[in-house]
Structure 1
Amino acid sequence: MSAVNDTSFNSAVFLLTGIPGKEDVHLWISIPFFLIYVISIVGNSVIILIIKTDPSLHVPMYIFLSMLAVTDIGLSMSTMPSTLGIFLFNYKEISLDACFAQLFFVHLFSFSESSVLLLMSFDRFIAICNPLRYASILTLPRIAKMGLVCALRSVALVFPLPFLLKRFPYCHTNVLSHSYCLYQEVMKQACSDITVNSIYGFAVKLLAVGLDSLLIFLSYVMILTTVLSVTSSTESIKALNTCVSHVCAILFYYLPDIGLSVIHRFGNSSSNLPQVVMGYIYLLIPPLMNPVVYSMKNKHLRSRLFKAFCK
């Protein structure tokens, strides 16, 4: 009997969810979702290509921007197959292994984006607070090492997640409230004690998003302190203007992330619509808006984009 149960647990599938109550218009909803994915992937790819091919953009700020674009593409690609599969073909089933693989990449690129935003805040901190040493501190080899450390940190934090989930049997309804797999939601479908998983998930969130957001906040406190000490208001505004794009990227990432985490922990289980909407905002808006904001606010990058499209 136990062997039969183990087999049913191992062959179980999860059922993904589109937008509850809107199943009859999923095909129409797929159109804006498809456009968002295309714009996100194409926009970030164009930014990477322009930065790579233009030697004048091989400076720390644009290298960090290309890193952010890579994480945005990865984040979009990791959720696109299952999301469009639901809205276009009403294909809701996903196997355990595929679900674990998807949540690995979703959280990997999400934590990597948080790390890149931290690196970008460090770049702004050095550029404003210590401009004379900017070129000597942020050298290309040092930037490469910083990016490698952030990538390895994200992999180390996320790598245990699928294995922590794979050891559980799953005997609940296995209906997920998103069109993709998230660790904190899959964990709740297990039929065993998930205390260890819950503690590890919370610790990972603190070490990644919590620590990064704290360091970003401290860096901007020091940036504001430095800017306010400048006597010229024109110079202060000019210095702060270089941070606007980065601040927008921070808000696009952290506000939906915090909102989704709060809803998952304290939300009303009778209605999944708020966490469904927040889940789409969390994974669709940052990859879509980051290239738009940086293209609009950065004159140098905007001019390169115009030249590229004119050609």
Structure 2
Amino acid sequence: RMFMWVTRNSNYIMFLLTGTPGQEDVHLWISILFCLVYVISVVGNAVILFIIRSDTGLHEPMYIFLSMLAVTDLGLSIATMPTTLGTFLFNAREISLDACFAQLFFIHSLSYSESSVLFLMAFDRFIAISHPLRYASILILPRTAKMGLVCVLRRVAVVFPLPFLLKRSQYCQANVLSRSYCLNQEIIKMACSDIRVSSIYGFFVTVSTVILDSLLILLSYVMILKTVLSIASHAEALNTCVSHLCAVLLFYMPEFTLTLMHRFRKSSFPLLQIVLGYIYTLVPPLMNPIMYSVKRTWILFPITPGLSLSCLWLNIHRP
């Protein structure tokens, strides 16, 4: 059943969230899976933050960036959890315009901040491999903290105008979203007024954040590879980048795939687009703490959280 809200006053507009169209009979099982993913994500990232905060020996640039990644993953899980579980568990599909814009702001701010943190981690690995003797003098703690703070604040500042630009538009179509949370790309399509300013600014935000960060990460790894090929211990040097490379692929591959599908295959494979959207928001917060902390026992984490958290503690304290 489609809900259509035709009004010129945006305060009365509601959006209708969607789970997985055509799969309503398995929404309960999907909600159980999502609950499990959220619990593991929140617990895993919270444990990483607790360990890094409580152990002064881990107050180093690499672990500071890791804690920033955990914070963004934790925030991303919390930002999408209420509407996702509400949609799948209780069929609570309506969301007000203001609530939708608030969720949109937090999701995009956190995801773009994660992109920046991944770039900072790539830069950290480049300095550690290319200039190991100068590492401690280049990435001193105050400088590291300032780098992280500036990158995150810049991303938040860039995203901040988006909800206000979207609120200026008039919405008079069937406001049915394809997912259980709000994204800028979908909200723009719902507007029936001129969206050129919002569209151009949204494109600018994407280019200045995700695309720029991905290019800088690629450049960092090209320079890392160049350095690694000139030293004897290839495997040992590259081993320090494995977790970060996996995190980069988990973050960027779903997003770039979704972008290409939206642009070139707008009406094809709608269910695949929805699944990729959930992978983009759910999988990185789930897998990042596992990859960074329990490289060799990650498969046990979803099955035996207690054992895996013990391994996490031992692995992160390993000299």
1:29 paired with 2:30, answer: yes
CA contact (8 A) 2:294 2:315 kept: no
Q: What residue is the counterpart of 2:304 in the other structure? A: none
1:107 paired with 2:105, answer: no
Q: What does 1:47-126 correspond to in 2, within 5 Å? A: 47-126=48-127
CA contact (8 A) 1:111 1:154 kept: yes
Amino acid at match of 1:43: G
1:127 paired with 2:125, answer: no
Q: What residue is the counterpart of 1:183 in the other structure? A: 184
State the Cα distance separating 1:6 from its structure 2 match: 2.3
Counterpart CA distance in 2 for 1:306 and 1:113 is: 26
Runs (5+) with no aligned partner, structure 1: none
- Residue 14 of structure 1 aligns to a residue whose secondary structure is strand
Q: What residue is the counterpart of 1:295 in the other structure? A: 293
Counterpart CA distance in 1 for 2:89 and 2:189 is: 28
Q: What residue is the counterpart of 2:222 in the other structure? A: 221
Provide, for residues 234-288 of structure 1, a one-character-per-residue CA deviation record: whole Å limited to 9, x for no partner. Answer: x111000000000000001000111122222233336521211110010001000
Counterpart CA distance in 1 for 2:315 and 2:225 is: 35
- Residue 173 of structure 1 aligns to a residue whose secondary structure is coil
Evaluate the alpha carbon distance shift between residue 145 and residue 95 of structure 1 in structure 2; reply closer, same or farther with a 3 A threshold.
Answer: same
Amino acid at match of 1:265: R
Aligned residues: 300
State the Cα distance separating 1:12 from its structure 2 match: 1.1
CA contact (8 A) 1:36 1:284 kept: yes
State the Cα distance separating 1:298 from its structure 2 match: 8.7
CA contact (8 A) 1:10 1:169 kept: no
Evaluate the alpha carbon distance shift between residue 263 and residue 270 of structure 1 in structure 2; reply closer, same or farther with a 3 A threshold.
Answer: closer
State the Cα distance separating 1:28 from its structure 2 match: 1.6
State the Cα distance separating 1:196 from its structure 2 match: 1.6
Amino acid at match of 1:274: L
Amino acid at match of 2:148: G
Amino acid at match of 1:176: L
Evaluate the alpha carbon distance shift between residue 270 and residue 222 of structure 1 in structure 2; reply closer, same or farther with a 3 A threshold.
Answer: closer
* Length-normalised TM-score, structure 1: 0.93
Q: What does 1:235-254 correspond to in 2, within 5 Å? A: 235-254=233-252
- RMSD of aligned Cα (Å): 1.9
Which range moves more in the overlay, 60-69 or 255-264?
A: 255-264
Counterpart CA distance in 2 for 1:176 and 1:270 is: 17
Which range moves more in the overlay, 60-69 or 270-279?
A: 270-279
Q: What residue is the counterpart of 2:19 in the other structure? A: 18
Counterpart CA distance in 2 for 1:208 and 1:85 is: 30
Counterpart CA distance in 2 for 1:209 and 1:302 is: 34
Amino acid at match of 1:6: R
Q: What residue is the counterpart of 1:305 in the other structure? A: 313
Amino acid at match of 1:237: A
Amino acid at match of 1:283: T
CA contact (8 A) 2:7 2:13 kept: no
CA contact (8 A) 1:39 1:288 kept: yes
Counterpart CA distance in 1 for 2:203 and 2:171 is: 21
Amino acid at match of 1:226: T
Counterpart CA distance in 2 for 1:304 and 1:99 is: 36
Q: What residue is the counterpart of 2:8 in the other structure? A: 6
CA contact (8 A) 2:171 2:190 kept: yes
- Residue 6 of structure 1 aligns to a residue whose secondary structure is coil
Provide, for residues 182-221 of structure 1, a one-character-per-residue CA deviation record: whole Å limited to 9, x for no partner. Answer: 0011011001121221111111101000110111101100
Amino acid at match of 1:91: A
- Residue 21 of structure 1 aligns to a residue whose secondary structure is coil
Amino acid at match of 2:282: L
CA contact (8 A) 1:14 1:174 kept: yes
Counterpart CA distance in 2 for 1:95 and 1:267 is: 30
* Length-normalised TM-score, structure 2: 0.90
User: Identity of counterpart residues, as a percentage?
Assistant: 67
Evaluate the alpha carbon distance shift between residue 195 and residue 32 of structure 1 in structure 2; reply closer, same or farther with a 3 A threshold.
Answer: same
Q: Considering fraction of residues, name the structure with more helix.
A: 1
CA contact (8 A) 1:125 1:222 kept: yes
CA contact (8 A) 2:7 2:172 kept: no
Q: Which runs of 4+ in 1 moved over 6 A?
A: none
